[in-house]
Copies of this chain bind each other. A is one copy, B any other.
Amino acid sequence: MKTLFCDKPLKYDGTQLRPHFIYQEFKILGDALVAFEGPADVALDHMVDLEDVEKKAPIYSPRMLHFLGEWFSDNFEWGILLQHHLVAEFYEILLESGVSSLSRRGNDVYFQDRKLNVSICTRSPVSVLVHVGINIETEGTPIPTSGLNELGVRPAVFAKQVLERFERDYNIWKTARVKVLPR
């Protein structure tokens, strides 16, 4: 898989979570995880989490660090674990860097009980798609939130750490598939 941090801001409105968007926007063909900054404004119409639709909980943030991944696999469960891992990994990096008052409940990370991120995994007819958005700024968010600015974390540096760690782990998983005797 390939990873890319793109320093050109891009607004996330939910339509980016579609097959081949990464190819069309970033010219990367194949499994990829990209990161970029930009506002998030996802209307209910574009949301794929039906529990959130039911609760009428749209997504808004003035500025987020976005991670968008596409893997050309039919394995939805695998995509769900990649989503989880991406969240667990950025949480782990924050813990390692000494930020306190953090907690994780499933795929939601909190700072002082204020939510840091959103995330979702869905599938298309050709791929699994993952979006993780971490607040940078939080003005106007519909629920109590925190963001990377409040934590004193620089988004671009942090993004590259996450991408690098994800790719490193990803290669380990690929190797794990081919080096083990069956039972």
Contacts and interface: CB of A to CB of B under 8 A. Distances in A.
Given A91-B92, A92-B92, A120-B180, A74 B72 contact: no
Nearest to A100: B98
A19 B182 contact: yes
Contacts of A116: none
| Identical copies in the complex | 6
A8 interface: no
Contacts of A4: none
A156 interface: no
Interface string A143-175: 000000000000000000000000011001111
Contacts of A122: 180-183
A123 B125 contact: yes
A125 B182 contact: yes
B183 A31 contact: no
Interface stretch (A35-43, A61-69, A75-83, A133-141): A75-83
A178 B23 CA distance: 9
Contacts of A178: 23, 29-31, 72, 126
Query: Which 10 A/B pairs are nearest by Cβ-Cβ distance?
Result: A125-B182, A81-B81, A106-B172, A48-B181, A95-B95, A30-B178, A124-B183, A72-B178, A80-B176, A122-B180
Nearest to A119: B176
A136 to B, nearest CB: 23
A23 B180 contact: no
B124 A182 contact: yes
22 contacts: A23-B50, A30-B174, A31-B178, A47-B181, A50-B179, A50-B181, A75-B77, A77-B78, A78-B81, A80-B173, A81-B85, A81-B173, A85-B88, A92-B95, A96-B103, A106-B168, A122-B180, A123-B126, A123-B180, A124-B182, A126-B178, A126-B181
